[in-house]
Structure 1
């Protein structure tokens, strides 16, 4: 599988340091679509802070990816659902750290969550 970043610099607004406009995936043998994953521990209890929930989300995503024989290196698309726009910076910082600085196409959406204790939810697409 080959991943090629397409990040034009002319005729379009500039991508920031934490995302790219597009990734072309050539010859993947499989795709993994991960449902929105929340910052819940193994008992289903949410972390008490945004940072705790982000740590739990990325730990949960790693478990799901590992079950499929993948890692965060296989992530090719990411969408974050934030309860508050003020969470954007912490979310981006956690994503950059979790991906080891690798940039992928990403979208952040501010949305009401189903439970008031859920602060952020992240869904990804991975390819292998």
Structure 2
């Protein structure tokens, strides 16, 4: 198996990618892909859900990272993250927490403002990782 290399793609003709993302990602040497289903803010097997957006966001990231860990992967393996927010008012908090979780790792990123399956869910995150 060749060594995994994840490289950002930021064409000079596009505005600079800010806020912990890259316009595209090139993957060389990966031998497998992991697709993380939309993770929601369930705290436990009983489906308890915090009311606060920041708590929900941290919980959703915990769930995403748990799926990655199950595949022996981590944040550095993320190549694409899609976040669904129930309201624009959560943009800043979402960005702040994403940056805390990802550190200096930048993946391709999409954020969509939309209705979410359950009214009490304030966000949902799905991801693609390579290993």
TM-score range, shorter chain: over 0.9
Moved over 3 A (4+): none
Q: Equivalent residues in 2 for 1:6-85 (5 A)?
A: 6-9=9-12, 11-42=13-44, 43-85=46-88
Count of residues in correspondence between the two structures = 127
What corresponds to 1:99 in structure 2?
102
Q: Which consecutive residues of structure 1, in runs of 5 or more, have no partner in the other structure?
A: none
What's the C-alpha RMSD, in Å, of the aligned pairs?
1.1
TM score, norm. by length of structure 1: 0.94
Give per-residue Cα distances to partners, 1:8-60, cap 9 Å, x unaligned.
23x22222232110110002110000111011111211111100101111111
Q: Which consecutive residues of structure 2, in runs of 5 or more, have no partner in the other structure?
A: none
TM score, norm. by length of structure 2: 0.92
What corresponds to 1:110 in structure 2?
113
